[in-house]
């Protein structure tokens, strides 16, 4: 039985997760997610992948506890879970987690593997693995260290306590808290802007940011290389010419730069 419902519209693919009873990351679900993510490698239509849950209370509960053991099968399943996290992070498309329920352990690691993550007032985020005598297994501690800093990461991992979406936003576990009542309109507006870009624009900034986090100088060099390459493109020169024509580098920029961009886009579309 398929545990993912997948639909695509306007370059946005929505993946709805449904693995009763509580959306545990079982090996079957992990394999299905891996297969889907890897299938996107040569997909030129999808620019954004949105992960949602069909469960009222859980986004993803955690990794299936039945595979956390010393057996060959259990160890293999745990390694496949780790591969899933790496595969999500390596996607060229923009990955977005929309969390309206609980995301603990592997569920929270899934959320942090995505490029963007939004949580509602119903969301909860935690890494409680220490209470079952294991460390995090999907880069949870690594991400907490990088996002929270030493003290806050250590406290969160040793306590294993839940964070609300506003708390998670403040700690950089998620991108932003969005009230459920505003979620659909927020996503529609935000993702429509990104979906209007080219996949290579998404890839470009993902590469620059990822490189910069590891090594500031390497990030700066990659950014400059992209800048000089893009500056030579005919598309760039056409946009700049139209932008200047419609009030770029004039006082119109002070109050209406989005209007200039809109006029530029309209002209180039004709």
pLDDT tens, position by position, 103-113 = 999 999 999 99
Q: How confident is the model at residue 45 (pLDDT cuts 50, 70, 90)?
A: very high
**180 beta partners:** none
Burial class of residue 86 in the structure, from the number of CB atoms within 10 Å of its CB (0-12 exposed, 13-18 middle, 19+ buried) = middle
Distance (Å, rounded) from C-alpha 262 to C-alpha 255?
Answer: 14
Percent over 90 (pLDDT), the chain: 99
Q: How confident is the model at residue 209 (pLDDT cuts 50, 70, 90)?
A: very high
Kindly report, residue by residue over 150-205, the tens digit of the pLDDT: 999 999 999 999 999 999 999 999 999 999 999 999 999 999 999 999 999 999 99
Amino acid 270: pLDDT: 84
Kindly report, residue by residue over 211-253, the tens digit of the pLDDT: 999 999 999 999 999 999 999 999 999 999 999 999 999 999 9
Whole-structure pTM value: 0.95
The label of the residue with tokens 């200047």 reads 244
Burial class of residue 54 in the structure, from the number of CB atoms within 10 Å of its CB (0-12 exposed, 13-18 middle, 19+ buried) = middle
Amino acid 40: pLDDT: 97
Q: What is the mean pLDDT of the chain?
A: 97
Q: How confident is the model at residue 75 (pLDDT cuts 50, 70, 90)?
A: very high
What is the CB neighbour count within 10 angstroms for residue 161? 14
Distance (Å, rounded) from C-alpha 171 to C-alpha 175?
Answer: 9
Give 117's contacts (C-beta < 8 A, 6+ positions apart): 96, 97, 98, 99, 111, 173, 174, 175
Q: Is pLDDT at 268 greater than 90 in this prediction?
A: yes
**58 beta partners:** 102
């Amino acid at each position: 039985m398929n545990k993912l419902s997948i639909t695509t519209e306007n370059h946005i693919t929505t993946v709805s997760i449904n693995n009763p009873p509580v959306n545990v990351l079982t090996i079957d679900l992990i394999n299905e997610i891996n297969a889907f993510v890897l299938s996107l490698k040569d997909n030129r239509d999808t620019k954004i992948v949105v992960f949602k849950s069909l469960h009222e209370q859980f986004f993803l509960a955690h990794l299936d506890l039945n595979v956390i053991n010393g057996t060959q099968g259990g160890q293999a399943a745990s390694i496949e879970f780790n591969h899933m996290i790496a595969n999500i992070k390596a996607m060229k498309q923009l990955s977005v987690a929309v969390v309206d329920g609980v995301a603990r352990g592997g569920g929270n690691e899934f959320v942090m593997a995505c490029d963007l993550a939004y949580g509602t007032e119903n969301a909860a985020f935690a890494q409680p693995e220490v209470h079952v005598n294991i460390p995090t297994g999907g880069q949870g501690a690594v991400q907490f260290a990088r996002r929270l800093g030493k003290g806050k990461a250590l406290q969160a991992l040793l306590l294993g306590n839940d964070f609300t979406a506003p708390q998670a936003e403040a700690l950089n576990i998620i991108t932003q808290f969005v009230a459920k009542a505003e979620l659909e309109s927020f996503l529609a507006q935000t993702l429509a802007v990104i979906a209007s870009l080219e996949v290579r624009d998404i890839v470009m900034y993902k590469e620059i940011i990822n490189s910069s986090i590891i090594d500031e100088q390497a990030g700066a060099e990659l950014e400059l290389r992209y800048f000089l390459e893009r500056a030579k493109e005919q598309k760039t020169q056409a946009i700049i010419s139209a932008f200047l024509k419609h009030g770029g580098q004039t006082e119109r920029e002070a109050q209406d730069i989005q209007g200039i961009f809109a006029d530029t886009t309209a002209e180039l579309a004709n």
